[in-house]
C-alpha cells in the first residue's frame, strides 16, 4: 500500500528518495511523487504509474544541480483511496502557501468537515484527497514553529496517519508522526532517513527507531527528538535492523514470487529449527509465554487474519481441534473487530499477519486485548506493530517477503500453527508417542516442499493448458479446503483469472451450474481421509465436461484415469499435506500468470500490506 520515504543529509536527496521508493514498490501502488528543498524553495514532481515514470518526470523537469545539491526531501508511493491515481492526487500535497509539503499514509476520516471549514477561510484545494486537507490544516496552524503546527493539526484529525512534513520556512528539518500507520527512523552517519517500511532504509543504516502511535518526531540530518502529541518528551530505544539486503534482490529469478517459492524449503527450516522437542514430543515456542497450566486453561482458540493469513488460520483451525481437542474458530479480522466479540481470559487469540501491520488485524488485536483475552501474534516482520502490541507470540523467520502474492509466509504460518497445536495438544490429550510422530511429520515439511518445488518445469507445462481460460474452480475438503481457497486467491491475484475456491461438496449447491466443456476444476485429491468423497465430486465435474487438474499423492493408483492433468506431492500426514499442496498451487498460479504475460510481483490494484480498513 502507500509508502513514505523522507531524507535529510548533505546532498543527493532526490536520488536517495527515488531509490527508497523503488524499495517500497513491492507494496503495491499506482502513482508516486516527491518534494525537495532547493535553495529555500519547495520543488515538487509527481507522476501517475510507476516510480520509473516519476524518475523520468523529475529528471526532465529538474536540472542536474537540483539532483546533486538538494539535501532534504520527502517522497511517496500512493495506493488510491480518495480519488483516482492521477498526478493531482499523488502526494506530496502542499498547503495553501505552497511552502509546506506533506506525504501521508492512512485515512483522515473527518476530512470533509475540515475541508469545508478551511475552504471558508479561503483555502483552495487541488485534489480529491483527504491528505491535502491535512497539509492545509498544518499551514493554517503554522505560526512560526513547524513542530507545533503539525502537533496542533494532528489534534484536530480523526483517522489514521503516518506522515512526513517539510516546510520552506523551516529548512533542515522534517517532522514525522504516526497513528495507526508505521514510521521507522533510520539514524545514519550525518543523515537521517524516515520510511514507512524498513526496506527503504537498508543500505543507509541498521540503527532504527520505531515510532509508537501518537509519537511525533522532529528530525535533522544529525538529530532525532521525539515527543508525544501532548508535547511530552518520550524515549524510544534504538533497534538494530536485521534485514538481509540480498532479500530485496531477485537473485537470478525472473520474479520475486518465483524466488520466494523456491526459498520455501529454507524459510520453513528457519521457521521450524529448534522448535521441536523429539524427546517430549512437543514444540518449544517460548514466545507464546505459556506454562502447561496456562495451556490447560485455554478453552477456545480464535484465529484472526485477512487474505492469505486468514487461509492459514483456516488450516490451523483443523489442527487445534484435531491435535489439541480445543474448540477453535477462525474469524476474518475486519468482521471480528466490529461484532462485539465474546472473549475472556480463557480464550487464546492468535493474530496471524505476515506484515504485522494490517489495519483490521491490528484493530482486532486491540479489541481482544481490551476484552481480556490471551492474545498472541503470529507475524513475520520483526518489530511490527502487531508483534509489539501482542507482546507474545511466534515469529515466522521466513525472511522478507517482497512479492505481493504471499507464498513463503503462508507455508510458514501453517507450519507454525501446527507446532502451536502440537504444543497445546501435548498439554492436553496427545500422548508422547503421538507427539513424537507429529513432530517428525512437521520436521519433514521442508523436504516435502523441496520435492514439490522441483516439479516447477512440469507444472509450467500443465499451466499452458489452463492459461487461456477466464474462470476456474478449486475444490478440496478437510484441511485441504482452505488450500483450495488459497489456490483460487493466488490465481486471481496474479493472473486475473476469475477463480473460486469451494468445499468439494459445496460445488453442487450452485457453482456446478457454471461448468461447461473444458472449465478448469483444480481438485485437491490427496490420499487423506475424505478422499473417496472428493473423487466422487471430481466424477460429477467430469460428467459435465470440466477439465480436471488434480493435486494427488505420489504413487496413488486410485486417481488413475480420473484426471486430465495431475501434480504429485509426497505422501504425508493429512494436516501436513496442506503445505506441499499449497506450494503446487502457488507454482500453478505463477506459471499461468507468466503464460498470460501478467505483472506478477505487483499485480494491479493490490497492496502488500493493507494499512487502511
Catalytic center residues: 2, 608
DSSP run (H or E) holding 59: helix 51-61
* 255 lies in the site for ligand G6P, by CB under 6 A: no
Residue whose CB is less far from ligand G6P, 181 or 308:
308
Residue whose CB is less far from ligand G6P, 125 or 496:
496
* 196 lies in the site for ligand G6P, by CB under 6 A: no
Among 392, 391, 388, 409, CA closest to 400: 409
The DSSP code for 129 is -
Does residue 356 come out as left (phi exceeding 0), alpha (psi in the -120 to 50 range) or beta? left
Cross-strand pairs, 312? none
CB 528 within 8 A of CB 500: no
Interactions with ligand G6P, residue window 399-458 (CB under 6 A)? 404, 406
Contact string (CB under 6 A) for ligand G6P, positions 469-498, x = contact: ------------------------------
- Binding-site member from 361, 411, 452, 519 for ligand G6P (CB under 6 A): 361
The DSSP code for 508 is G
CB 337 within 8 A of CB 367: yes
* 272 lies in the site for ligand G6P, by CB under 6 A: no
CB 570 within 8 A of CB 446: no
Q: How far is the CB of 454 from ligand G6P (least distance, A)?
A: 25
Q: How far is the CB of 416 from ligand G6P (least distance, A)?
A: 13
The DSSP code for 43 is E
| Distance in angstroms (rounded) separating the CA atoms of residues 204 and 61 | 27
For 67, 197, 410, 575, 601, the CA distances from 29, given in Å and listed in that order, are: 24, 14, 23, 36, 12
Q: How far is the CB of 482 from ligand G6P (least distance, A)?
A: 13
The residue assigned the cell 516435502 is 448
Neighbours of 516 (CB within 10 A): 10
- Binding-site member from 353, 415, 519, 537 for ligand G6P (CB under 6 A): 353
* 331 lies in the site for ligand G6P, by CB under 6 A: no
Q: How far is the CB of 178 from ligand G6P (least distance, A)?
A: 18
* 368 lies in the site for ligand G6P, by CB under 6 A: no
Q: How far is the CB of 542 from ligand G6P (least distance, A)?
A: 33
Residue whose CB is less far from ligand G6P, 410 or 481:
410
Report how far Cα 494 is from the mean position of its chain's Cα atoms.
15
3-state helix, strand, coil in the chain (%, to 5): 40, 25, 40
Q: Which stretch binds ligand G6P (CB under 6 A): 214-222, 314-322, 353-361, 558-566?
A: 353-361
Interactions with ligand G6P, residue window 280-319 (CB under 6 A)? 306-309
* 224 lies in the site for ligand G6P, by CB under 6 A: no
Q: Which stretch binds ligand G6P (CB under 6 A): 91-99, 162-170, 337-345, 351-359?
A: 351-359
Positions in the binding site for ligand G6P (CB under 6 A): 306-309, 353-355, 358, 361, 404, 406, 606-610
Amino acid at each position: 500500500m502507500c509508502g513514505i520515504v523522507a531524507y535529510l543529509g548533505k546532498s543527493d536527496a532526490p536520488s536517495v528518495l527515488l531509490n527508497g521508493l523503488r524499495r517500497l514498490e513491492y507494496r503495491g501502488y499506482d502513482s508516486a511523487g516527491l518534494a525537495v528543498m532547493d535553495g529555500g524553495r519547495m520543488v515538487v514532481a509527481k507522476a501517475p504509474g510507476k516510480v520509473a515514470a516519476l524518475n523520468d518526470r523529475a529528471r526532465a523537469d529538474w536540472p542536474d544541480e537540483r539532483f546533486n545539491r538538494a539535501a532534504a526531501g520527502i517522497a511517496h508511493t500512493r495506493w488510491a483511496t480518495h480519488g483516482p491515481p492521477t498526478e493531482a492526487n499523488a502526494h506530496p500535497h502542499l498547503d495553501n502557501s505552497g511552502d509546506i509539503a506533506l506525504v501521508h499514509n492512512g485515512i483522515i476520516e473527518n476530512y470533509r468537515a475540515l475541508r469545508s471549514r478551511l475552504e471558508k477561510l479561503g483555502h483552495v484545494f487541488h485534489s480529491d484527497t483527504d491528505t491535502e486537507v491535512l497539509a492545509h490544516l498544518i499551514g493554517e496552524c503554522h505560526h512560526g514553529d513547524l513542530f507545533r503546527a503539525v502537533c496542533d493539526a494532528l489534534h484536530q484529525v480523526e483517522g489514521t496517519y503516518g506522515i512526513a512534513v517539510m516546510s520552506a520556512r523551516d529548512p533542515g528539518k522534517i517532522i514525522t508522526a504516526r497513528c495507526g500507520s508505521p514510521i521507522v527512523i533510520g539514524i545514519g552517519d550525518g543523515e537521517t532517513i524516515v520510511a514507512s517500511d524498513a526496506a527503504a532504509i537498508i543500505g543507509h543504516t541498521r540503527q532504527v527507531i520505531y515510532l509508537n502511535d501518537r509519537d511525533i518526531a522532529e528530525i535533522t540530518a544529525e538529530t532525532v527528538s521525539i515527543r508525544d502529541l501532548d508535547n511530552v518528551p518520550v524515549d524510544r530505544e534504538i533497534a538494530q535492523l536485521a534485514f538481509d539486503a540480498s532479500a530485496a534482490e531477485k537473485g537470478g529469478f525472473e520474479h520475486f514470487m518465483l524466488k520466494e517459492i523456491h526459498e520455501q524449503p529454507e524459510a520453513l527450516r528457519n521457521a521450524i529449527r529448534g522448535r521441536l522437542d523429539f524427546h517430549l514430543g512437543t514444540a518449544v515456542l517460548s514466545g507464546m509465554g505459556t506454562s502447561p497450566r496456562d495451556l490447560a486453561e485455554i478453552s477456545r482458540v480464535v484465529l484472526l487474519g485477512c487474505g492469505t493469513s486468514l487461509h492459514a488460520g483456516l488450516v490451523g483451525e483443523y489442527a487445534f481441534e484435531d491435535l489439541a481437542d480445543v474448540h477453535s474458530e477462525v474469524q476474518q479480522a475486519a468482521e471480528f473487530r466490529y461484532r462485539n466479540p465474546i472473549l475472556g481470559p480463557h480464550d487464546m487469540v492468535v493474530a496471524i499477519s505476515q506484515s504485522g501491520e494490517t489495519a483490521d488485524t491490528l484493530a482486532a488485536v486491540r479489541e481482544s486485548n481490551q476484552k481480556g483475552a490471551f492474545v498472541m501474534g503470529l507475524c513475520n516482520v520483526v518489530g511490527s506493530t502487531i508483534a509489539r502490541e501482542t507482546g507474545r507470540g511466534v515469529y515466522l523467520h521466513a525472511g522478507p517477503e517482497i512479492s505481493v502474492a504471499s507464498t513463503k509466509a503462508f507455508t510458514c504460518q501453517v507450519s507454525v500453527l501446527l507446532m502451536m497445536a502440537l504444543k497445546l495438544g501435548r498439554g492436553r490429550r496427545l500422548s508422547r508417542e503421538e507427539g513424537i510422530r507429529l513432530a517428525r511429520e512437521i520436521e519433514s515439511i521442508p523436504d516435502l516442499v523441496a520435492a514439490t518445488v522441483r516439479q516447477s518445469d512440469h507444472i509450467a507445462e500443465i499451466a499452458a493448458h489452463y492459461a487461456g481460460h477466464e474462470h476456474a474452480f478449486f475444490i478440496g475438503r478437510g484441511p485441504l479446503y482452505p488450500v483450495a481457497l488459497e489456490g483460487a486467491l493466488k490465481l486471481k491475484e496474479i493472473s486475473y483469472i476469475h477463480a473460486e475456491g469451494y468445499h468439494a461438496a459445496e460445488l453442487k449447491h450452485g457453482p456446478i451450474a457454471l461448468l461447461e466443456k473444458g472449465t478448469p476444476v483444480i481438485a485437491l485429491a490427496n490420499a487423506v481421509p475424505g478422499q473417496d468423497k472428493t473423487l466422487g465430486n471430481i466424477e460429477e465435474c467430469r460428467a459435465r465436461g470440466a477439465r480436471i487438474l488434480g493435486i494427488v499423492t505420489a504413487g496413488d493408483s486410485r486417481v488413475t484415469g480420473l484426471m486430465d492433468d495431475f501434480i504429485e506431492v509426497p505422501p504425508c500426514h493429512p494436516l501436513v499435506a496442506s503445505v506441499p499442496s499449497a506450494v503446487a498451487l502457488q507454482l500453478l498460479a505463477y506459471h499461468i500468470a507468466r503464460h498470460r504475460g501478467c505483472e506478477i510481483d505487483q499485480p494491479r490494484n493490490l497492496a502488500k500490506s493493507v494499512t487502511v480498513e
